[in-house]
Amino acid sequence: MKKKILVTGGAGYIGSHTTVELQEAGYEVVIVDNLSNSNLGVVEGIERITGIRPAFEQIDCTDKKGLTEVFNKYPGINGIIHFAASKAVGESVHKPLLYYRNNIVSLLNLLDLMPEYQVKGIVFSSSCTVYGQPEKLPVDETAPIQPALSPYGNTKQIDEEIIRDALNAGLPYKSIILRYFNPIGAHPSAEIGELPNGVPQNLVPYLTQAAIGIRKELSIYGNDYNTPDGSCIRDYIHVVDLAKAHVIALDRILENKSESRLEYFNLGTGKGVSVLELVYAFERATGVKVPFKIVGRREGDIEQIWADSRYANEVLGWKSVETIEDTLKSAWRWQLKLRENGIM
Ligand code: UFG
């Protein structure tokens, strides 16, 4: 029988790509999503790619009663992948309580319900933001956690601590915490991708919107950092590579492949790419020019960070395989598809 997985935030950017990979790996998926930053069209996109429509429940994970009903309606949920969260760094500074409520209460509800429904484990979406500006690069999983620069970042740190404490207290499940670097790109079918609400805050959606003419030009936040070309450096990972890591993490929990009840993995490519390098890589990959200008630094930006991904490579047995060019091509195809469909 197919194993049943609850994917919270499964209509979101990373959640939808992970649902595709889970279904292709033979898992049965139940999506719970409040659609605050997504829509039902995503579920249709997943169905077009995989031929399977995942079960979908429009529920907010802060609603414990609603979640309980989901566990009752879909008996035998084996594992959870918890994506559902608010994720805009800037917004979190202005609406901290919203972020603390959404991102912490949701996790508490799930952790509370898991023993009652005999759920074996939870894979949690965390972020490299927990490392702040690391002293040593590339950064590995043993690097110190630094004070968060935003309420959003703080919720990820607190959630990691909550999981750790719950497991230390002997709660009967396992967890894998995945620390994402910068996921970009879209499914090669262009049936699903990133659909930012309003003006994109992240680099690649803004870049593709500037390239297609929705935005006048991309602002590059600073060229006076202590990096080779002066712009910030990140580790950009194809969202499909990232999604695949979740399937492996879940297998690891459900098939008891690890002794430890709690593990942490960096999910990155292991390569740092500057903002300017990324713009040029996009132009090379697509033949499309990106109008841009250099502006001042963005408050709170980390100068440079990229992953030491050896632990994930060796222990999880996962490696990112997509090139930055192919990844950017997929982001462009998605942008073109949004235009074709009259969405943007
Ligand atoms: N950038 C620009 N112009 C833009 C947008 C971004 O130059 O219009 C630059 C940023 O200054 C940064 C880089 O592009 O140097 C990447 O910025 P993103 O906003 O795409 O990503 P961040 O690395 O700032 O943030 C992301 C996620 C967060 C997560 C964080 C972890 O959005 O959720 O990574 O470091 F917490």
- The model's pLDDT over 79-133, given as tens digits with 9 standing for 90+, comes to 999 999 999 998 999 999 999 999 999 999 999 999 999 999 999 999 999 999 9
**What is the tally of helices (H) and strands (E) in the chain?**
12, 13
Residue 196 confidence (pLDDT) above 90: no
Predicted local distance difference test score (pLDDT) of residue 281 = 98
* Nearest protein CA to atom 6 of ligand 1, as residue: 203
| C-beta separation of 53 from 29 below 8 A | no
- Phi, psi (rounded to 5 degrees) for 266: -75, 135
Ligand 1: list residues with CB < 6 Å. Answer: 87, 89, 127-129, 153, 182, 201-203, 206, 218-221, 232, 234, 275, 298, 301
Mutate to test the pocket of ligand 1, among 14, 149, 275 (most ligand atoms within 8 A of CB): 275
| C-beta separation of 53 from 34 below 8 A | no
Q: Which residue has the tokens 């499964």?
A: 10
Q: How far is Cα 326 from Cα 50, in angstroms, rounded to an integer?
A: 21
Predicted local distance difference test score (pLDDT) of residue 97 = 98
Distance (Å) from CA 234 to ligand 1 centroid: 8
Predicted local distance difference test score (pLDDT) of residue 132 = 95
* Nearest protein CA to atom 34 of ligand 1, as residue: 182
| Amino acid at residue number 120 | K
Nearest atom within ligand 1 for CA of residue 180: 31
Mutate to test the pocket of ligand 1, among 14, 37, 86, 89 (most ligand atoms within 8 A of CB): 89
Distance (Å) from CA 202 to ligand 1 centroid: 5
Reported confidence tier of residue 28, pLDDT bands at 50, 70, 90: very high
Residues 6 or more apart whose CB falls under 8 angstroms from that of 280 comprise none
What average pLDDT does the segment 197-211 reach?
95
Question: What is the token pair recorded at 141?
Answer: 């999983």
Predicted local distance difference test score (pLDDT) of residue 283 = 98
Q: How far is Cα 340 from Cα 334, in angstroms, rounded to an integer?
A: 10
Predicted local distance difference test score (pLDDT) of residue 344 = 82
Q: How far is CA 233 from CA 75, 114, 201, 221, in A?
A: 45, 39, 17, 12
Catalytic residue selected from 27, 131, 152, 180: 152
Reported confidence tier of residue 73, pLDDT bands at 50, 70, 90: very high
**Nearest residue to 80 via CA among 171, 30, 5, 23:** 5
| C-beta separation of 44 from 31 below 8 A | no
Q: Provide DSSP, 283-332.
A: HHHH-----EEEEPPPTT--SB--B--HHIIIII-------HHHHHHHHH
| C-beta separation of 277 from 285 below 8 A | no
Residue 197 confidence (pLDDT) above 90: no
Distance (Å) from CA 49 to ligand 1 centroid: 29
Distance (Å) from CA 57 to ligand 1 centroid: 31
Residue 1 confidence (pLDDT) above 90: no
| C-beta separation of 20 from 50 below 8 A | yes
**Nearest residue to 330 via CA among 220, 222, 224, 189:** 189
Prediction pTM value: 0.98
* Nearest protein CA to atom 35 of ligand 1, as residue: 129
Mean pLDDT of the chain: 97
Q: How far is Cα 235 from Cα 272, in angstroms, rounded to an integer?
A: 5
* Nearest protein CA to atom 24 of ligand 1, as residue: 301
**264 included as an active-site residue:** no
Mutate to test the pocket of ligand 1, among 298, 302, 305, 328 (most ligand atoms within 8 A of CB): 298
pLDDT, tens digit, for every residue of 292-342?
A: 999 999 988 999 999 999 999 999 999 999 999 999 999 999 999 999 998
Judging by beta carbons within 10 Å of its beta carbon (0-12, 13-18, 19+), is residue 245 exposed, middle or buried?
A: buried
Predicted local distance difference test score (pLDDT) of residue 229 = 98
Q: How far is Cα 84 from Cα 16, in angstroms, rounded to an integer?
A: 11
Reported confidence tier of residue 214, pLDDT bands at 50, 70, 90: very high
Nearest atom within ligand 1 for CA of residue 278: 14
